[in-house]
Amino acid sequence: MSYDRRTVKMCVCHRKKFDNIRDEAKELGLESVDEIMAEGIACTGCGMCRPYVKKMLSTGETRFVPGDIYIKSES
Ligand code: FES
């Protein structure tokens, strides 16, 4: 997987990087996008980041190739 300037790495509406969202969520014990939204940490604007934040919560990844989350794995 290669990353470049198009790499998805933040919630643009909240101007907050996924690294920081992950750390805040961990600190507060939040385990879902809904919980992150309820705390007003991220994802409450346009919603484009929600699938990425969901994947971040399950994998710990904080950088994504645009659209990659929509491609089904072959496993
Ligand atoms: S990019 Fe996260 S709510 Fe818009």
Q: What is the pLDDT of residue 1?
A: 64
Residues 48-70: what's their mean pLDDT?
94
Q: At what angle do helices 50-59 and 18-28 cross, to 10 degrees?
A: 60
45 lines ligand 1 (CB under 6 A): yes
**Amino acid at position 69, single letter:** I
Among 48, 58, 60, 59, which Cα is nearest to 8's?
48
pLDDT(75) > 60: no
47 lines ligand 1 (CB under 6 A): yes
- Please report, in angstroms and rounded to a whole number, the separation of the first and last CA atoms in the chain: 17
* 14 C-alpha to ligand 1 centroid (Å): 7
Q: What is the pLDDT of residue 3?
A: 75
**What is the value of pTM for the model shown?**
0.89
Contact call for residues 49 and 66 (beta carbons, < 8 A): no
Q: What is the pLDDT of residue 72?
A: 67
Q: What is the pLDDT of residues 3-31, one digit of tens each?
A: 788 999 999 999 999 999 999 999 999 99
